[in-house]
Amino acid sequence: MSRRAVITGVGVVAPGAIGKKDYWKLLAEGRTATRVITQFDASPYRSRLAAEVDFDAAREGLSPQEIRRLDRAAQFALVAAREALVDTGVEWDQLDPRRIGISLGTAVGCTTSLEREFIVGSDTGRRWEVDQEYTVPHLYDYFTPSSIAAEVAWLIGAEGPAAVVSTGCTSGIDSVGHAAELIAEGTADVMITGGTEAPLSPITVVCFDAIRATSTRNDDAATACRPFDRTRDGLVLGEGAAILVLEELEHALRRGAQIYGEIGGFSSRCNAYHMTGLHPEGKDMSDAIDAAMQHAGVGPTEIDYINAHGSGTKQNDVHETAAFKLSLGSSAYNTPVSGFKSMIGHSLGAIGSLEIVGCLLPMSEGLIPPTANLHEADPACDLDYVPLVARESVVDTVLTVGSGFGGFQSAMVLKNVEGAQQ
């Protein structure tokens, strides 16, 4: 009998919503949280937009030490993890810590702190030999992002396998997929997983400017990210974190846990094509989708909803539309598709996990969040993208996908667990 990984707790720090309830409400209402960047002066940059989290670390329960020591991405992770741990209803000290593991996704780790400290140490870039007298004691923890996984592990006293999975923009799916595999193979019974990212600093904005991947609709921030729309002009960066507690099904059933759903199947692949470009035929993403569906034991007609990557770049939206058609065949036309990045931006290594948590809303409430800002679909994007307004629909099986720099293509199938308590 194979072991199944189910979701029994979630925690969210999202643009426009902190906490799972507010987050699901935002998605259900199709509200957008994209705006002109307030965290730093973005006026020198081509794209000045982002979906920012209004985050008061002290109000969210972080100690002064944590606030001073931790990068914003680590702070998001801790706040989301605390919510998720409580959400499970588990009495954590009753569990064997050796059977609890950590798998956390992040694409750029503590870049914001690294850049801030660089500016000081290099005298605003004047010196190559940065000054050792101006380094903060936590610099090494910013340097390698496994420090974030360690923080989350310390929070709960986890002693099982722990790692960061850093596969760029698919990190948030891949970390959860990895966690599910560790449960399936019997290495752990409980995994704290998910993704976190706080990339909103000049160097990240410039990276995307340089390759013209971000939207320049600076005067129309709230509707800037327009996945699948004819007028889309790029992605809008975001930030946030989503933490999920995965539990082995029997383990969860024994304690009468609420079960949000099951990680039915997962696949992550390299497209071996280009570090930033996508092959328009979508074959690599389609391979990942096929593998995830096969893993989950579901066919194209059983997918009730597709949660798209939907970054809003010209090439992505065509690429994944092609991939859905390749994998689902004619069923692709009958399956609702929507993209949350239209509302909460693209938070790189966190977004995959935020999307997984978002997908639990249609699975539990039968309400599919819309693709915001989609007024007129691109003729090359001819699927049912649930524009503007959420749609009621029975959803038991969801496909969620991600695609990112480095050529990573990931897909995950989420399923409702029959007879489980929700």
- 171's tokens: 């990190």
Catalytic residue (one of 178, 251, 309, 319): 309
Q: How far apart are CA 51 and CA 16, in angstroms?
A: 8
157-165, 335-343, 372-380, 395-403 -> range binding other proteins (CB under 8 A)? 157-165
Residue 333 sits in the site that holds other proteins (CB under 8 A): no
**Smallest separation (angstroms) from other proteins to the CB of 315:** 15
Question: E strand or H helix at 337, and its extent?
Answer: strand 337-338
Residue closer to other proteins, measured from CB, 209 or 262: 209
User: Applying CB under 8 A, does 73 fall inside the site for other proteins?
Assistant: no
Least distance in angstroms from the C-beta of 66 to other proteins: 14
- Distance from C-alpha of 295 to C-alpha of 269, rounded to nearest angstrom: 14
State which of residues 254, 274, 376, 382 lies at the interface with other proteins (CB under 8 A): 274
CB atoms within 10 A of CB 35: 18
* CB-CB contact of 227 with 310 (8 Å): yes
Q: Active-site residue among 225, 346, 359, 381?
A: 346
Smallest separation, CB 119 to other proteins (Å): 6
Residues 84-113 that bind other proteins (CB under 8 A): 97-98, 101-102, 107-109
How many positions of this chain bind other proteins (CB under 8 A)? 83
| Contact status, residue 191 vs residue 183, Cβ threshold 8 Å | yes
Question: Cβ 135 to other proteins, closest distance in Å?
Answer: 5
* CA separation for the pair 313, 295 (Å, rounded): 29
Q: Are 57 and 66 in contact (CB under 8 A)?
A: yes
Two structure tokens written together for 370: 């819309």
Question: Per-residue string for binding with other proteins, 213-242, x by CB under 8 A?
Answer: x-----------------------------
Tokens representing residue 342 in the block:
């239209």
Taking the complex as a whole, the smallest distance from the CB of residue 69 to other proteins amounts, in Å, to 13
**What part of residues 339-368 is at the interface with other proteins (CB under 8 A)?**
none
Restricting to residues 163-182, name those near other proteins by CB under 8 A. 163-168, 171, 174, 178, 181
Is 250:90 a contact under the CB 8 Å cutoff? no
- Active-site residue, 309 included: yes
Distance between CA 288 and CA 306 in Å, rounded?
14
Measure the CA–CA gap between 370 and 377, rounded to whole angstroms: 14
Closest alpha carbon to 87 in 243, 191, 193: 243
The one-letter code for the residue type at 78 is L
Known catalytic membership, residue 169? yes
Q: Could you say which residues in the range 16-55 bind other proteins, by CB under 8 A?
A: 44-46
Q: Considering beta carbons, is residue 200 or 395 the nearer one to other proteins?
A: 200
- Assess whether 178 carries a catalytic annotation: no
Nearer to other proteins, 85 or 343 (CB): 85
Active site residues: 169, 309, 346
